[in-house]
Structure 1
Amino acid sequence: MASRFTELAVDCHDPEGLAAFWCEVLDFEVIDRSEGKVEIGSWVPTVEDVRARQMPPTLVFIQVPESKAVKNRLHLDVSPIDDSTEGEVSRLLGHGATKVDVGQGADRNWVVMADPEGNEFCVLRTLAP
């Protein structure tokens, strides 16, 4: 017996806004929404697909009243597929991300950023040909 990693839940103030940001980052689309919740993904999951094989997880943005207070203990890493790391960082800055310092130092081959609600994520080396 085993479980599957099917969703990553992100608490936030503005599920619609944060979902729109991450759709731009990941080229995902909204696959479900309800009051105070938006789910995005690269596929529409079915029980059969998930049972049959490991599938990419979706992101679920859930509205909560409290604000983010400290550095995330869990974060996403993204790798550009169409551009350089620097080009992707510039693109994400244009969509509302910010560069942040979490003590990573200057000599790194990744860039630490935060989404519009302050959730940290890393832009890693490019996978572009």
Structure 2
Amino acid sequence: MASRFTELVIDCHDPRGLARFWSAVLGYQIIDERPDLVEIAAWEPTAEAVRAAPQPPTIIFAKVPEGKVVKNRLHLDVSPIDVSRDEEVERLIVLGARRVDVGQGDDVSWVVLADPEGNEFCVLRTLAPQPRP
């Protein structure tokens, strides 16, 4: 058997605040909370489910003392499923995201945002059915 990708860990100053932001972005819920660590997921992991098939990883927000210094080497991409990309960008800005320029240029199909702690992520094309021209 192979290993499974079960968690993605994001270092931060405010695990609870960042977990609330990303839970709202992704429709996840908090499944574990400790003073310096908060875990969110779309499902409740069990050994049986993980053995049966790959599942979406949970996301853990871990408190660290140092701040973010440079552009992320790893980032999340999200795709809206019910609205347009631009409508989703506006929703995420209301939640606390902000637009950032990481050198992506103007002629790209995605939008780069940063979460409340400055971690970059991209909003890609919508997966919602689009009217045919």
Amino acid at match of 1:26: L
Residue 50 of structure 1: how far off its partner (Å): 0.5
User: Which residue of structure 1 lines up, in the alignment, with residue 57 of structure 2?
Assistant: 57
Q: Which residue of 1 aligns with 2:100?
A: 100
Task: Work out the CA distance in 2 between the residues paired with 1:52 and 1:127.
Answer: 27
- TM-score, with structure 2 as normaliser: 0.96
SS of residue in 2 equivalent to 1:77? strand
Query: 2:121 is matched with which residue?
Result: 121
Once the two structures are superposed, the pairs formed by residues 1-129 of structure 1 within 5 Å of their partners are 1-129=1-129
1:77-98 deviation line (CA, Å, top 9, x unaligned)? 0000011000000000000000
The alignment-based identity, stated in percent, is: 67
TM-score by length of 1: 0.98
Amino acid across the alignment from 1:17: G
| 1:107 shift after superposition | 0.3
Q: Considering only aligned residues, what root-mean-square deviation do their CA atoms show, in Å?
A: 0.6
Separation in 2, partners of 1:117, 1:41 = 20
Distance 1:81 1:52 in 2: 26
Unaligned stretches of 5+ residues in structure 2: none
Cα distance in 1 for residues equivalent to 2:29 and 2:42: 7
Distance 1:5 1:29 in 2: 19
Runs of 4+ in 1 over 4 A off after TM superposition: none
